[in-house]
Chains A and B, each alone.
Chain A
Amino acid sequence: MTSKTTKAKEKAKPFLLPTYCKGCGRCIDACAKGCISAGTKINPSTGLVPVNLDLANCTGCGLCVVACPEPYGLRITEGGCEGVQGDFVIEDPQKLFGPRPTTAPKPEPVADQLIGLPDCEPLVTKGTYASAIGALLAGCRHVYGYPITPSTEGAELMAKYLPLLDGVFFQAVSEVATVNFMYGTGGAGLPCMTFTSSPGFSLMLEGISYMVGSEVPGVFVNVMRGGPGLGNIAPEQADIKVMCRGLGHGNTFCIVLAPSTPQEMLDLTIKSFELSFKYRNPVLIAADGYLGQMTGMVRLPKHMRKPGIPEWAVYGDRNHRGNLICSIYLNETDLEKHNRHLNQKYENIRKSEQLADLYQCEDAEVILVASNTPSRMAKGAVAALRSQWVKAGLFRPITLWPFPVDYLKPLLKKTKHIVVVEASAGQLEDEMRLAFSKADIRDYPPIHHVRHMGGMLPQQSEIVEKVLALDLRRTQ
């Protein structure tokens, strides 16, 4: 007897716990020796009919194992299968094989690094470019997008700069694909972003809902244009509703930041990345068509960031192997628990992240409420009104969600009128009114508005006219 034949004869034979056999019978055809036959008895623990094994003629070829679709079905066990062959005694697999927990380590976060920047002269650049530069300084090296006016310049600049930094600009097949690239890269724990504009943003909503549900960070710069439908490419603010209230299906909220200058396009983009990772949630920048195109002075920050990798990421390395990014919770109580967790996060954001800019509000009897480019016309109007001895002030929400009602509330006592100035049919006003309601503010002055739609912005002169027509002798 040669050692070779001995080896062949000792080839391990298959082993099956009937509990894990669903009786599909693929193994029956696979066995040339006819060792396996269809079962006849229902297994009481599964309600299925497992196959029968008679291994007298088994050569240990293993084809039955290749045929078995169950991970813990037919197996050739290391060290043979003494004592369990034959009678198919159902034994606790833990007892038989011992626990085989995952060998993936407990993930540890890799920390971000802040890197000091040299002093630079201010840039003269447009809003979308400023936002792109902000993203680069925030550590973003992955930008996905689909061209759409008036946001495309941001993507174009990224397409120009990122290859120079060995980063990625990838023009996706659609906005739908774009948001899913972001789900992937954000899920891998890296900062990523897109530039889009209203109709494109609408297409991303399902993906945003997934990102919120899976707690994946990512930054969306939505340069709002005229709607509904194809609308036009002129500036509007008519996506406030969808960004604050309508982010795809389910219980979804994202911080919405509204810049009003090219400088803020840069500053708030940097802030978006911080908030996005702090809360593991997408963050949206609501810009308007004017702001995207507007050129102005932009100062660079003192630091740039080299991102680390958070502990929850699915990065594709040993450290993070045990992680999962998903938004599916099949069990109802699990999903409710997840939603309660999200609600707690939204509540923390509402308490901690409200931001507003107050301009001459201290003694204001008329408060203009405006964001984005219309807030600049409103600011001009405040200056013009003050020169006519009207005590006007500008309350500019920087976070549209959460609406910075905590900053507005203390001003309401002195205020005789609120005038909401916006390039939409009242979407900003709706956010303010809802914030009043939720903050249980019942006593507030009359709310007026100056609104334009269709791509026109409220002008300083009409805001001034509106305010001058108000009854300023009114007492609260």
Chain B
Amino acid sequence: MIGAFYGKFERHAHGAGIKGQSTHYCSGCGHGLAHKYLAEAISELGIQDRTVAVSPVGCSVFLYYYLDVGNTQAAHGRAPAVGLGHKLANPESIVVTYQGDGDLASIGLAEIVSSAQAGIPMSVIFINNAIYGMTGGQMAPTTLMGMKTSTSPHGRARMTGQPMKMAELMALLDGAIYVERVALFNAKERLRAKNAVKKALQLQVENKGFAFVEVLAECPTHLKMSPSENSKWVQQNMLPIFPLGVKKDVQPAEAFQPFTPSFDKDKVVGIVTEGLTGKAPTFCRKFPDHLAPKDVALKLAGAGGDGAQTAALLITRAGINEGFDATHIPSYGPESRGGTSYADVHIADGEVLSPASPSPHVLVAFNQPSLEKFGPQVQPGGTIIYDSSVVAGRPAFEGKKVYGVPFSQIAKDLGKLVVKNIVALGALQAVTEILPKESFLTAVRMELKHKAALIPLNEKAFELGQQAVK
């Protein structure tokens, strides 16, 4: 039975000579057998056309020389991530990742653990031969205690920890539904190994879940043994540390449902516009050039939670609704709540050029530090509106129009402190007439379209803010 192997290994040294039908593995290596069981299982399950095999880095990097399926070669340790990338791209595909002990149990631990936990159907073949092969006999995470390798020349010792027992670790993860450790050292174990590989694929064909087969394999070259000595060594030395058997075989909590992404244009437009496809009414007759000829710069400043960003966004939306260009740039302190929170807003007739507001025409300050920091930066003749509920005294800025409005007190009296930013917007509108009242209220209604119950409160807050100025 040739299984899902290529008839000729064209990728192996261009298929020249013996290499066209021979693997690159050493005599006695376990990889060939694992490849063979995989090729046979793919063939027996009739999934050759659907299969994507992910080759790792290590001796089995050339899996793609041999398996006549869709092939991808992954970066060291990343095969499970690459495999899931394929599986999620085409949930009907059957993805097999094949990794050695350095690839899976050392550099790729994060990927294998998180992919197993994700529980998305994928079949992982893990070859554990207790040593690095491709790099030439270095210590693997699965190297046995006391074992001499080129990077543990005195024998693996305490400082390097104990061998990683991957099958047991995988069995602990909720997403893995089938975990078995098998070996290749005698006829009985080989049949078990062959069946385990097939079962790992079968579970994926059935959309069940993540399956993991650890294969205890031989590496006679780097363990410096004959193939038959190595087989005995696996049996005598690896088995006590890596006991064989099924570690887990359960039904998935929930079956995997293959899916096909939607390209329905109405659905897409509905989602990306969040339903705001219609034209907003306009109320503005002309650009507010009484504030600046072409481009009005505002700054709203407070602490996180004051609502400066939301207020800034509402001004921006109102400006754009009216057909102007408008921008809003937030600037937060290190914490998203409780830190500083400043917003630069521009409304321009034409295009907003520079969107920052280092010297704004209008400042809305929600607290004392913001007022002190940005008050002096306001342009001569500019406007400052601050929350007089929290700012002590009557601050003066020469050559600037200053208005104290009790944003917080008004909002508190309304029973919702969070609407103080809307109070501030009302005050801003009354003081500057930057845009008509209805422009602001339209923006508020659009923003609250999914929380319609809050609209009357916000409208009230806006009006009280306006009245407080008058």
CA distance A169 to B260 in the complex (A): 14
* B32 engages A69 (CB within 8 Å): yes
* B73 engages A327 (CB within 8 Å): yes
Interface of A, secondary structure class, is mixed
* A210 engages B86 (CB within 8 Å): no
Taken residue by residue from 21 to 34, chain A's Cβ proximity to chain B (1 for < 8 Å, 0 otherwise) reads as 01111101110000
- Given A121-B280, A321-B70, check contact A142 B326 (CB 8 Å): no
Taken residue by residue from 281 to 323, chain A's Cβ proximity to chain B (1 for < 8 Å, 0 otherwise) reads as 0000000001001111100100010100000001111101101
* A290 engages B329 (CB within 8 Å): yes
CB distance from A91 to the nearest CB of B (A): 12
Within 8 A of B (CB), among A92-133: 93, 99-104, 113, 115-118, 120-124, 133
Taken residue by residue from 45 to 62, chain A's Cβ proximity to chain B (1 for < 8 Å, 0 otherwise) reads as 110100000000000000
- Given A185-B88, A316-B51, check contact A136 B268 (CB 8 Å): yes
Of B28, B265, B278, B326, the contact of A115 (CB 8 Å cutoff) = B265
CB distance from A334 to the nearest CB of B (A): 9
Interface of B, secondary structure class, is mixed
Within 8 A of B (CB), among A170-184: 170, 172-174, 176-178, 180-184
CB distance from B315 to the nearest CB of A (A): 10
Which range holds the interface residue count of chain B?
35 or more
CA distance A219 to B72 in the complex (A): 19
CA distance A121 to B194 in the complex (A): 61
**A20 within 8 A of partner (CB):** yes
CA distance A65 to B40 in the complex (A): 12
Which residue of chain B has its CB nearest to the CB of A94? B8
- Given A137-B272, A167-B261, check contact A99 B356 (CB 8 Å): no
- Given A167-B261, A304-B263, A459-B358, check contact A380 B2 (CB 8 Å): no
CA distance A23 to B353 in the complex (A): 76
CA distance A331 to B330 in the complex (A): 53
Of B84, B352, B355, the contact of A290 (CB 8 Å cutoff) = B355
Of B26, B29, B75, B89, the contact of A207 (CB 8 Å cutoff) = B75
CA distance A76 to B320 in the complex (A): 76
* A326 engages B73 (CB within 8 Å): yes
The stretch from A80-88, A342-350, A371-379 touching chain B is A371-379
- Given A69-B36, A177-B114, check contact A184 B94 (CB 8 Å): no
Which residue of chain A has its CB nearest to the CB of B188? A63
CB distance from A339 to the nearest CB of B (A): 17
CA distance A177 to B107 in the complex (A): 12
CA distance A324 to B11 in the complex (A): 10
* B83 engages A184 (CB within 8 Å): yes
**A166 within 8 A of partner (CB):** yes
* A325 engages B32 (CB within 8 Å): no
CA distance A396 to B74 in the complex (A): 38
Taken residue by residue from 345 to 364, chain B's Cβ proximity to chain A (1 for < 8 Å, 0 otherwise) reads as 00000001111101100000
* A104 engages B68 (CB within 8 Å): yes
Which residue of chain B has its CB nearest to the CB of A174? B110
Of B81, B220, B273, the contact of A184 (CB 8 Å cutoff) = B81
* A24 engages B49 (CB within 8 Å): no
CB neighbours (8 Å) of B328 from chain A are 294-296
**B276 within 8 A of partner (CB):** yes
**A164 within 8 A of partner (CB):** yes
CB neighbours (8 Å) of B186 from chain A are 29-30
* A317 engages B327 (CB within 8 Å): no
CB neighbours (8 Å) of B278 from chain A are 121
Of B50, B259, B355, the contact of A317 (CB 8 Å cutoff) = B50
CA distance A296 to B326 in the complex (A): 6
CB neighbours (8 Å) of A200 from chain B are none
8 closest A-B pairs by beta carbon, nearest first, are: A184-B85, A316-B93, A100-B7, A69-B32, A380-B354, A188-B89, A326-B73, A180-B81
Binding site for A on B (CB under 8 A): 1-3, 5-8, 11, 13, 18, 21-23, 25-33, 35-36, 39, 48-52, 54-55, 61, 64, 66, 68-75, 78, 81-90, 92-95, 110-111, 113-114, 118, 184, 186-187, 190-191, 194, 220, 227-228, 231, 259-263, 265-269, 271-273, 276-280, 312-313, 316-317, 320, 325-331, 334, 352-356, 358-359
Listed by A's residue number, 15 A-B pairs whose Cβ atoms lie within 8 Å are A22-B25, A161-B271, A165-B262, A165-B267, A170-B88, A170-B118, A180-B81, A207-B78, A210-B75, A294-B328, A297-B326, A304-B263, A318-B49, A457-B356, A460-B353
